[in-house]
Each structure stands twice: as C-alpha cells, then as structure tokens.
A and B are shown apart, each in its own frame.
Chain A
Amino acid sequence: MLKEIFEYYHLINRLEKFLLINKNSGAVYKIDPKLGEILASNLNNNYSNLFLPQEMELELRELLGEKSNLEILKESAKKLEKRTAHPKAFCLNVAHSCNLSCLYCFAEKGYREEDNQKLMSEKTARRAIDFLFAAPYPVIELDFFGGEPLLNWKAVKNSIIYAGEKTRFSGKKIKLALTTNGILLTQDICRFLNQYEVNLTLSLDGPKEVHNDLRILNNGKGSFDSSFYKIKQAVFSRNYQNYYIRGTYTKKTLNFSKAANFFIEENLENFSLEPVISKDTPWSLDFEDLPIIEQEYEILANLLVKRKKEGKPFSFYHFNLNLYNSPCIEKRLQSCGVGVEYLAITPQGEIYPCHQLTGYKEFKLGDIFQGIDIEKQEIFKKIHFLNSKDCLTCWAKIYCAGGCIANNYYFSSSLFKPPELFCALLKIRLEYALALSVE
C-alpha cells in the first residue's frame, strides 16, 4: 500500500513547491509538481485511494528504503540523560523590575510580584560570572535580562568589564547579549555595548498602533514613542549589525506581516516575531486564529522571496534555516539545554532552569552561593523529544527539538507535553522555512 509511505513521510505544499520530509531522518525531498498535485489531492483522505502512474509509484516506493535515524537518536539520548551537568549559558536577570507594564509579559506570572530585592547587586553578578567561568566549555554565554536590565545599568556595565577581564585569564570566549525595550538607551550606553560586542535584542512589536496595544508604560500610556527612536539610534550606532528586533504578536495583532513591513521600511531588517505566550486573556491565541497566522507566514515568506529576487533580503529569524550545516544530534534532541546548560539567575542569586521558569519555586535549582541541587536537576537531563509521546510521531521533531519546555509547563502542566496550538503554529512556520530553503 502506498499509504504506508506517509507513516514515514510528511508532505509539504508551500510557495508552489512540494516537499517530502522523512519523519525519522529529517531528509528533505523535492517532488515534481505533477506528483505533488496528486499527493496533495489525496491528503484529506489520508492517501487511502492513492493511485499513481507506474513510474511515479516506483520512485515513491524507493523512499521506503530510506534509513531511519531513530536508533542513533536513542543512543545519543541515553548519553544525554547521563551527562555531567555544567552551565554554559546564564540568563542574568539583573532587574526584576521594569519601566513598562506590558500586559502580556510572562514575568507577571512568575517573579515580579513577590521579589523583595528587585535589582541584582554587583557582588551577586560577579559571583554568577565566576560560577559560569568555572564550567569546562570554551565558549560561554551571558545574557542580561529582566524586567528591564538597563534599570540596573551600573551592574550590567561592571559585569561586562569583569567578564571581559576573565576571558583574558581563562582563554574562554564569551558571547554577550542584552534584551531591552530601548527606553533607557543613551549614546554612551550604545557606545559601550558596541565596544564590547554585546548582541542586542530589542523589543518592538511593530508600528505605533500595534506596539502601543499591549506594550504600555507604567502610567498606562503606549510606549512606542519612548522606545522606537532609541531603538533606531542603537541599531544605527552599530551599523545595523548584531541586533534583533523582537516583536510579539497576539490575537489582537494577528496581522504581523504589517509589523514586518514596518521593520523593513525602517531599515530594521533583522527581526523575529513571536506568538504571545498567554492563556485565557483577550490577547491569547487559540486554534481559530491559525488560518490567519498561516496566511501571515505565507505573506511574509512571499515577501522574502520577492525581496531576495530584488537583492534586498531581510532576516526573519525563523526562516533562517541552514539545511546544509546542521546542528549535532545533542542539539537536535534537546535544543536549549534548559536546567542543565542554560540557567537563569535571579537578583538574589537563585538559580532557575530558564528565564521563563523563573519564580516557579518547584523548579528552583539552588543558588550561586551554595551551588546547584543536582537531584532537582535530574529531570532536566531527561528533556529531549524522545521522552515526549507527542513528538515521537511528529514529522517536525528533527527540526524543532521538541519545542519550549517552559511553554509545555505553562500550557500543559507537564514539561514533556507540548501544547497542541504551539506545535501547530511551529509546524506551519517550519513548512515555510523549509520551502524557502529549497530552490
């Protein structure tokens, strides 16, 4: 039965291209449009009445001989579960305080209300940096995050200088990043961040009416005018390099291709647009929004095709697939290293598995003064897509690595159960990314 083939392959029909993806190896095949049309027309009846001309059928049957990579993945997963834990990347929450009150902010759900100490002391920051440098990796990462990290600029600045000095003695390389809403950026701050090659993630949701919808100042007014011009200046000051505009779209701002157009018009051509992580609010996404979201990714993908032809491409983070220089097995299995390689540090020096799980006391892993509770860390070593039932049969697993476990926990109350809505969304986005990657 030809139908059997589709237990192992997923058909993609995007941007007038047809692709087949092997669910267990990740192999990508381009399909002739004649065959693609026939397969696509049989998709809804699950290929049960699929009949093909003989030469097409023979070629399709050859795909059944394709090697699965599941056994290799399982072997690597066993090793991952037994690995010795060392931190590689710290998200340093230097300020659990913000000059904005964005209605969709995940910090509201976690840490902001209950903290007594809102700003990280320089001593705590230095201790965290020492902790990170003690790890045996040649490249380590430090991301200044909040709240709004520039509310604690002095600690940020001195931490960067301190980390820079430590690289000289340790021989390690450090990658620095800072996520900001831009309001407190000054020329001096930009100059310093540029000098130390700190990658900037700048929060901007789109044009004024979109941005102001949910990104509001503490006085309730929209923050666009306070953020936008500072962000533009910061990007200009670094010659449009080493930055990403990070936008969020919500149920109320579903037409995110307009935000993309706005960024491009404003020469802010490195951007990502992320679905809001929220439930039971007027701005939360749900399944009925998927057709519009799909349409928006289609518009964005077609815009990229057009701009590439004109020699003016832009960089939308999620469309930047690199099929030919792929990540290693370990990365494909568990992606971010939450709770093991990637950790978040609160202003008090508490250690959490990631910035989105900060404040969830059940996941507190210790602190930078006493160390990590390795027993509590054990469950995070088991995080990989082979431990998620929903991922096992999914075609996207080799490319998505099982998604975000903080999202899993937030929506499904389980670290191992990905939320259906976000899987559906990610798969749409990935289909366009794959179609864009194939000539």
Chain B
Amino acid sequence: MGKYIKLIVNPQLKNGGCMTCQSSCQTACKTSATVSNQPCEREK
C-alpha cells in the first residue's frame, strides 16, 4: 500500500479439509490453541 500502511499478509482462506494436518488437541498444549500455529501440512 502506501507510506504509512503496509500489507503484511492477507491469509488465503482456501478450502481444504483434507485432514492431513494435526488436530490441535494432539499438539503441545492439550488445550485449545490458536489455529495459526498449525500450518497446512500438505504445503510444507
């Protein structure tokens, strides 16, 4: 954009649901986490 405001990322909300990625409760915390620390594993 311009001088004062810069777009860093506009997350692509793409269809998926392939279930390759890890379910959030199987990860470190065993409580709810933000989803953004669970990236799409298909595109790794």
B8 touches A28 (CB 8 A): yes
Cα distance A324–B19 in the bound complex, in angstroms: 19
Tell me which of A282-290, A330-338, A358-366 binds B.
A330-338
Task: Digitize A318-332: 1 where CB-to-B-CB distance is under 8 Å, 0 elsewhere.
Answer: 111111111111111
Chain A residues, CB < 8 A from B1: 29, 59, 62
Minimal Cβ-Cβ distance residue in B for A27: B10
A318 and B33 contact, CB distance less than 8 A: yes
Question: Is there an interface contact between A321 and B36, defined as CB atoms closer than 8 Å?
Answer: yes
B6 and A29 contact, CB distance less than 8 A: yes
- Is B36 a contact partner of A336 (Cβ separation < 8 A)? no
A355 contacts the other chain (CB 8 A)? yes
In the complex, what residues of B have CB within 8 A of residue A20's CB?
A: 5
Q: A69-B13, A327-B38, A337-B23 are in contact. Are A31 and B4 (CB under 8 A)?
A: yes
Contact of A426 with B by CB under 8 A: yes
| Bound-complex Cα distance A52 to B44 (A) | 43
Number of interface residues of A (CB under 8 A): 84
Q: Give the chain A neighbours of B8 by CB distance below 8 A.
A: 19, 28-30, 323, 438
- Cross-chain contact of A330 among B11, B12, B16 (Cβ < 8 A): B16
Mostly, the B contact residues are loop
- Complex CA distance for A399 and B39, rounded to whole angstroms: 11
A43 at the interface (CB under 8 A from B): no
- CA–CA, A326 and B43, complex, Å: 9
- Give every chain A residue within 8 A of B33 (Cβ-Cβ): 317-318, 335
With an 8 A cutoff between CB atoms, is A91 at the interface? yes
Binary contact readout B6-27 vs A (1 if CB under 8 angstroms, 0 otherwise):
1111111111111111111111
Is A26 touching B31 in the complex (CB atoms < 8 A)?
A: no
CA–CA, A143 to B32, complex, Å?
A: 16
Cα–Cα, bound, A400→B29 (Å): 14
- Select A400's contact among B19, B26, B35, beta carbons within 8 Å: B35
Bound together, the chains give a CA A138 to CA B35 distance in angstroms of 21
How many residues of chain B are within 8 Å of chain A by beta carbon?
42
Give the residue of B26, B32, B39 whose beta carbon is less than 8 angstroms from that of A322: B39
| Alpha-carbon gap, A83 to B18, bound state (A) | 13
Q: A152 to chain B: closest CB distance in Å?
A: 18
Query: B9 CB to closest chain A CB, in angstroms?
Result: 5
- A89 close to B29 (CB less than 8 A): no
A143 CB contacts on chain B under 8 angstroms: 25-26
Query: Which A residues lie within 8 Å of B35 (CB)?
Result: 327, 331-332, 335, 399-401
A91, B5: Cα distance in complex, Å = 45
Contacts of B13 in A (CB 8 A): 25-26, 69, 72-73, 326, 328-329, 332, 398
Q: Determine how close the nearest CB of chain B comes to the CB of A231; give it in whole angstroms.
A: 14
**A114 at the A/B interface (Cβ < 8 Å)?**
no
Whether A175 is near chain B, meaning CB under 8 Å from some CB there, is yes
Taken together as a complex, chains A and B put the C-alpha atoms of A356 and B24 apart, in Å, by: 13
Which residues from chain A contact B19 at a C-beta distance below 8 Å?
Answer: 88, 137-139, 341
Please give the residue numbers on chain A whose beta carbons come within 8 Å of chain B beta carbons, in ascending order: 19-20, 22, 25-32, 34-35, 55-56, 58-60, 62-63, 69, 72-73, 76, 83, 88-89, 91, 137-139, 141, 143, 145, 175, 177, 179, 201, 244, 246, 270-272, 274, 277, 317-332, 335-338, 341-342, 354-356, 396, 398-401, 403-404, 406-407, 426, 429-430, 433, 438
- Given contacts A29-B1, A137-B19, A328-B16, 14 further A-B pairs with CB under 8 A are A28-B10, A29-B8, A32-B5, A59-B4, A201-B30, A270-B28, A323-B36, A327-B39, A331-B38, A335-B32, A341-B23, A401-B32, A404-B31, A406-B32
Interface positions of B (Cβ within 8 A of A): 1-40, 43-44
Q: Could you write out 20 A-B pairs with CB less than 8 Å apart?
A: A26-B10, A29-B8, A89-B23, A138-B19, A244-B27, A274-B29, A321-B36, A322-B37, A325-B39, A327-B39, A329-B14, A330-B15, A331-B16, A335-B33, A336-B23, A355-B30, A398-B13, A399-B34, A399-B36, A401-B35
